[in-house]
Amino acid sequence: MLFNSIGFAIFLPIVFLLYWFVCNKKLQTQNVLLLVSSYFFYACWDYRFLFLLMFSTLLDYYTGLKMQDASSAGKKKFWFWLSILVNVGFLGVFKYYNFFADSFAELLSHAGLKINVWTIKVILPVGISFYTFHGLSYVIDIYKNRIKPERNFVDYAVFVSFFPLLVAGPIERATHLLPQVKQKRVFDYTKAVDGMRQILWGLFKKIVIADNCAELANTIFNHHADYNGSTLVMGALFFTFQIYCDFSGYSDIALGTARLFGIELLRNFAFPYFSRDIAEFWRRWHISLSTWFRDYLYIPLGGSKGGTWMKVRNTFIIFLVSGFWHGANWTFIVWGGLNALYFLPLLLSNKNRNNLDIVARGKMLPTAGEFFSILLTFSLTVFAWIFFRSGSVTEAFQYIGGIFSTSLFAAPQVYSVAILALIGIFLLLEWQGREHQYAIAAFALRWPPVARWALYYCMVFAIYVYSGKGQQFIYFQF
C-alpha cells in the first residue's frame, strides 16, 4: 500500500476514526488496533512475508526476556547472539546471498576457474532492513543494560511494526518510541493539523518533485550513451532531487501520519542540501540510519578517540557498511567509500563538527563563503549520487566519462522548463523554512490566512495534476 495511493487515502481515515472514536477509552485497545492495522498494511504488499515480520518480532521479544532472566552472563550472551545471528542471517539470505555468490563466481573466473553458483530467486521483503534494525537496536540495548525488556508483546510489536515507519523508516529506538506506545495518548487538534500539513508537504515532494524528476533521470541514465555531457549533468541533478524528495517525502508522510495518532517519530532529514560540508550533510541526511551506525557500530569500534589509523579505519567501515546496507551492488559500496574520502579530511583536521547549526540562521541569505561551501558540498554529493543510481560501477564511470567531454558545453538535449521551475519553487520553500522541522511547518503560519490557504490549495492542485504516475518510493528496495 503506497502512501500516495487511493488505498492509503481510504485506509488512514478509517484507522484514525476507529482509533480516536471507538478505541479511545483504553490504551491497550488502541495499541491492538495499531498492531492489526500495521499487519494489514504490510500484508497489502505481500502477505507471504508477513510471517517473517512476525517471526522477527517474536524472536527479539523472547530473547529480550531470556536475556533479562538469564542466570549467568554466558546464557545472556547465548540469547543475545542467537537473536543477532538469526536477524542478520535472514537479512543476509534475502538481501545479500546472490550478491556474494555472483561476486565469488566472478572472482574465480578471473583466476581461470568457471563455476555455476546456486542463486535464490525470491522477492526482497519490503522494509526488512528497517524492521530488522529496530529489533537489533532493542536487543543490543537490553544486552548493554540500557533498557529493560518489554513484557507486553502487543506494545513491543507496535514498536517494531508501527505502519507509518514499517517499510522505509525512520529507524526507531525502543528508548524513544516504546514509552510513547505505553503512555496514554490524548487527541491534540494542533498536533493533528500539523501532521496533516506535514503529510501534504511530503506528498508534494514525492508526487510533484520526485516522480517528475524520476522520469527525466530514468530517461537519461538508462540511455546515457546517447546524450551529451550537459544532459548527463542534468540527469545527475534530476536524480539528486528525486532521491531527496522521494525519501524525505516518505519520512514527512510517516512523521505526519504518526502525529495524527499522538506519536512523535524521529526526524529523518534536516535540509541536507544546504550543508556546508560533508560532515554536516551526514548529520542531516537519513538521520536515523546515520545515528544508528554511529551508536551501534562506530562508537563500539572506538569512534574517533584512537590514533589516525583507527580514525581512518572506523570512518571507512561506517561508510562502506552504510553503502552496503542500501543494496547488494558494488555501486553502493563505491558510493559509501567515496563519501568516506570526502569525510576524512574534515575528521583528520578536527573540522567535522564546525557546522552544527543551520546555515544563515535568522538571515535572509548566506554569506558568500557559506554559499560557495554549500555549492561545493552539493556538487560532491551530486557526483557521488551517480554511483548510487547507476546499474554498475562500469556504467557509472561511463556516465562520468560522458560528462567530462567536449559536449559538456553543448545545450542539454533533455530537460523540462516546468520541472526546473518546480524545483526552484521547492528550493525557495525549503530555504525559507530551513529553521523548522519541515519547510512549511511554521513560516506559512505567519502569512495571512488567505495567502496560507492559497499555498495549500496550490500544492493540492499540483499533487492532483501530477498524481497519475504512482511510482514506488525508492527506499522500498532497501
- The catalytic residue positions are 326
Q: Report the C-alpha gap between 443 and 139 in whole angstroms.
A: 41
C-beta atoms surrounding 475 within 10 Å: 20
C-alpha cell at 124: 526482497
Torsion of CA 98, 102, 104, 108, to 10 degrees: 160
DSSP string spanning 355-373? --SPTTTT-SS--HHHHHH
C-alpha cell at 336: 559509501
CA distance 271 to 291: 16
Task: From residue 421, give the alpha-carbon distance in Å to each of 208, 416, 459, 460.
Answer: 11, 9, 14, 17
Query: Which CA distances in Å does 125 have to 46, 93, 139, 205, 309?
Result: 8, 11, 22, 25, 38
Q: Which three cell numbers stand for residue 155?
A: 506494545
In terms of Cβ atoms closer than 10 Å to its own Cβ (0-12, 13-18, 19+), residue 457 is exposed
158 within 8 A of 34, measured Cβ to Cβ? yes
